[in-house]
Amino acid sequence: MPATDTTAPATTPDAPSSETAGVELRGVSKHFGDMVAVRELDLTVAPGEFFSMLGPSGSGKTTVLRMIAGFEDVTSGQILLDGQDVTAAAPFDRTVNTVFQDYALFPHMTIAENVAYGLKVRKTPKTEITARVGESLEQVRLSHVADRLPHQLSGGQRQRIALARALILRPRVLLLDEPLGALDKQLREQMQIELKQIQREVGITFVFVTHDQEEALTLSDRIAVFNEGRVEQVGTPREVYEYPQTAFVASFLGISNLIPADLARELAGAEGAISVRPERVRLAATDASMSAAETSVIGTITETVYTGPATRYIVTTDYGLTIVAERHNDHAPDDTAPFHRGDQVRAIWYREHAALVP
């Protein structure tokens, strides 16, 4: 455990913003009655990391976040913040702050009052509150809405206010519970960039909950993929995408061609089921030559899907296997595609591009 020079958690709201902390979960379980939401979870988040917890709804990711924040008790296990056991600490005694899914702004307070709330309950001097609220609103470029009420703001603005309200307390860890879930796609992408910038500026640990795999891949330093209360895989975006360790991870992140174990053994000599990404599969004529490092199947194109930057071909073999191949539309825009529905084709991929998914 690292030696720390921190005083009691509740008395450090004025710690400089460069101070950050790691989070560690040791054997954490959470039961709601008979339902097990989280099972025996071990997880380590490094200080300063942008860490995403990705999974479908009901996979336990939000419960884990709420346990780190202190809104839920753990059934068993330990939660450590910066090496200190906070398992039994109340939310107001933890140096973490939360950005809630639907922002949770206080409807009866102005934007400035909302942002000031945390400082006010800590009895911070008035002049300091005014100054810091000003800075905070500046940071999210919303100084002009200080006197408005939350319902007068757009979704994106409310989102930024929720962020400002949490960051003004200079937490060591910021928890974000699907903060972009309620925004439309364009705004969401813009906010992703903004979030990343803010995280770099303040330099603290972000623990980010999302069910959107693209968002997780775009933002994170590392991703934990949740399924049914367990973590299936933890790794960098590249690791979890390119080398999924389980069939669930392979299918939850992007599109994946899952080839069952017996077929994979026959085709590629693999030791179990394999997963191949559509963009790793190329199509060729049935008599095309291929290298020794490649594997292929022959089938019929049963569907083509134009998605703008790429076209997807769904190839079905005689024995019922379906392979999705993606081809970038990097040829001339009006070029007709070389493959059509009903064509007999060979779908080819490099064996090393297939991940073994036991």
- Is 150 among the residues that bind another protein (CB under 8 A)? no
Instruction: Considering the complex, state which of residue 175 and residue 274 has its C-beta at the smaller distance from another protein.
Output: 175
254, 212 Cβ separation under 8 angstroms:
no
* Half-sphere exposure (Cβ direction) of 294: Cα atoms closer than 13 Å: 15
User: Rounded to 5 degrees, what are φ and ψ at 173?
Assistant: -135, 135
Least distance between another protein and beta carbon 101 (Å)? 8
| Helix (DSSP H) and strand (DSSP E) numbers for the chain | 9, 18
Out of 32, 76, 106, 331, the residue judged to bind another protein by CB under 8 A: 106
30 binds another protein (CB under 8 A): no
Q: Are 323 and 257 in contact (CB under 8 A)?
A: yes
Round to whole Å and give the CA distance between 336 and 345. 17
Amino acid found at 108: H
Only segment of 40-48, 116-124, 179-187, 229-237 that touches another protein (CB under 8 A): 116-124
- Of the candidate residues 5, 34, 108, 342, the single one contacting another protein (CB under 8 A): 108
32 near another protein, rule: CB under 8 A:
no
Considering the complex, what minimum distance in angstroms separates the CB of residue 164 from another protein? 12
- Choose, by CB under 8 A, the member of 59, 87, 98, 227 that binds another protein: 98
Q: Which amino acid is present at 60?
A: G
**Contact by Cβ (8 Å): 275, 355:** yes
Q: How many residues sit in the footprint of another protein (CB under 8 A)?
A: 28
* Cβ–Cβ under 8 Å, residues 316 and 330: no
Instruction: Give every strand in the sheet of 222-227, ordered side by side.
Output: 96-99, 173-177, 205-210, 50-54, 222-227, 230-235
Taking the complex as a whole, the smallest distance from the CB of residue 27 to another protein amounts, in Å, to: 25
**Contact between 139 and 131 (Cβ < 8 Å):** no
- Residue 132 is a binding residue for another protein (CB under 8 A): no
Question: Under the criterion CB under 8 A, does residue 125 sit at the interface with another protein?
Answer: no
172 scored as a contact of another protein (CB under 8 A): no
> 155-167 and 111-121 helices cross at what angle (nearest 10)?
20
When asked if residue 196 is in the footprint of another protein (CB under 8 A), the reply is: no
Least spacing, CB of residue 155 vs another protein, in Å: 16
Chain contacts with another protein (rule: CB under 8 A): 10, 13, 66, 69-71, 90-92, 96-98, 100-102, 104-108, 117-118, 121-122, 149, 165-166, 169
